[in-house]
Amino acid sequence: MRKNPLVRLTVLMLVFVLAVSLLLSGCGQKGNQNSSNQNQQNTAPKEKIIRVTVSGTPNLDPGVGQDYGSSTALANIYDSLVFPQNDGTLKPLLAEKWDVGSDNLTYTFYLRKGVKFHNGDELTADDVVFSMKRLLAIGEGFAYLFADVVKDVTAVDQYTVKFTLNKPFGPFVETLVRLYILNKDQVMQNINKNGQYGEMGDYGREWLITHDAGSGPYMVKELKQQGYLYAVRFDDYWGGWDNDAPDAFKLIDTTEGATVRTLMNNRELEITDQWQTTENINAMSKIPGVSICSNFSGTMLNIMLNTKKAPTDDVNFRKALSCVFDYDSIIKLFPDSIQAKGPVPHDLPGFDPEVYQYKQDFEKAKEYLQKSKYADSLDQYPVDLLWVSDVPDEEKIALSFQAAAQQVGIKINIVKAPWISVVDMLSKIESTPNGTIIFVSPHYNEAGSMLESRYHSKSTGTWEQAEWLQNKEIDAMIEDALSTIDKKQRFEKYKKIQNVIVNDITPTIWVLDQAERRAYQSDYVYWPGAELAKQGKPITTIMGYNFYFHDFKIYPEKMKK
């Protein structure tokens, strides 16, 4: 039966009206939602974050990480028993107090109760024991500080831990700033059983590449290799929080000048790395709200000479290179820096201000060359010089050195590599070049830290000793000094070691004590180290701790547009 046309038209009209109503209703809801979202975005507070550029993606494993970026990450993600102060002293951290045995071989630490790991577990003496034994078993990173020193570590009770030493070790408590405490249970739950450590499998190394097992003020949120580390505030941190403290920090793996400058200009970076060129630092200083922090923090620039590879295996050849180098010109590349005197920075306790200092002297360089076994065959023994491509100013150093060496008949071949490749190259004598341009910093607040990490045999194969010294006499002198309990006597022994290394061995060209210069967003960032620098007060010489973000403050409302 056919429908009435009028009825059919009426139905169609109703359907049309209903469809339009639904469409308009939908559009209205969507518009309101967008408006609401936009309003939320406009009113939502900005994340209070500190972003810093670094050279190399940080290694988050306390048993492995050791370079600048890694040290910064570890100091913020993990807690140690003691904590370094800017005046060179220590304060209790996880340990509320400690006792030293009359024989100077036992150290008993009494732990703070109620400290939580990031997963909520309580930190106890068992975790301290596990962390030390794991570090020694892996034998990398900061393990060299404790190898041959710590005989045993035991949990006396839940909150008391005792270290027994093989021999007296004067700065033992100072070195404990590099013992980062891991959550034993959490690590053991994440081991790869196919690892190289027996029943401990891989000791959690694979898992700790991108995770943490710490109790520090920040916890790992994301790590992207050759990208960044992003960590966020641990709300239950036992040390509490200031209202203006950063909610997060990000260590960005880049030192490329144009990139860093753009990030600073866009307010997407709070603090630059210390490897920026003077030209780039000066350019960034003109950005509204940006200031420059310049301070000494124990960092030195060295050219490490491979003592096991011709021609730098000859001490007189090494001394000749030390007399060829143009110190005055290179220091101009690093404003506020000063020429180094030997292997210890001038601001580290135990430094000898009277140690011999090399100067550019071509006549003296020629005298040393004549005494070397390569005097009549210089053309057959070129010097391979490596610079780190992450640090552009190092190329200028290499070119200057190359030009100066030509004046005495030494040929220098310049090679470059990124930091990750440099670390690998320096792990073997054969792949370590004759010379490596590299910055180093102390790991605790004494000359012994620099002497041990730079020249004791147990640090060979790391980026901190491309000299491959392996000198038993120096090893014995360093060990003797470190085992001396009386600080005054210990410092006198440090000075003697400095003189022997400089005068008799010369394994290094000690270029300068670096005044680290960094651009930072001073209008909305309170950086404790920068404030101390303004007042001419000392800043910690222990790598990484000038960036203890828990003590920073962020004021987003002060950010300049």
Q: All domains of the chain, ordered by start, with CATH?
A: 47-78+216-288+523-561 (3.40.190.10), 79-184 (3.90.76.10), 298-514 (3.10.105.10)
In the chain, which residues have pLDDT < 70? 1-45, 560-561
Alpha carbon distance 228, 332 (integer Å): 32
For residue 41, what pLDDT is reported?
Answer: 35
Query: Phi and psi dihedrals of 465, rounded to 5?
Result: -140, 85
The Cα 317–Cα 497 span in angstroms is 21
Would the CA dihedral through 115, 118, 123, 129 be positive or negative?
A: negative
- pTM exceeds 0.85: no
The first and second tokens of residue 226, run together, are: 């050759």
Beta bridge partners of 253: 54
Q: Rounded to whole angstroms, what are the CA distances from 553 to 529, 530, 531?
A: 12, 12, 12
Ramachandran angles phi, psi of 338, nearest 5°: -130, 155
Q: What is the pLDDT of residue 26?
A: 40
Instruction: Report the pLDDT value the prediction gives residue 561, as an integer from 0 to 100.
Output: 61
Asked if residues 275 and 52 have their Cβ atoms less than 8 Å apart, the reply is: no
ω into 382 cis (within 30 of 0): no
pLDDT at 8: 41
Cα 350 to Cα 445: distance, rounded to the nearest angstrom: 9
CA distance 184 to 214: 10
385 C-beta neighbours (distance < 10 Å), count: 25
In whole angstroms, what is the distance from residue 149 CA to residue 118 CA?
30
Among candidate residues 113, 109, 79, the one with its CA nearest the CA of residue 95: 109
Which amino acid type is present at position 327? Y
Q: Are 81 and 93 in contact (CB under 8 A)?
A: yes
- pLDDT of amino acid 47: 83
Cβ atoms of residues 524 and 559 within 8 Å: yes
- What pLDDT was estimated at residue 190? 97
Alpha-carbon distance of 404 to 201, in angstroms, equals 52
Output the pLDDT for position 538.
85
**In which element (H, E) is residue 421 found?**
helix 419-425
Determine the Cα–Cα distance for residues 238 and 142; give it in Å rounded to an integer: 25
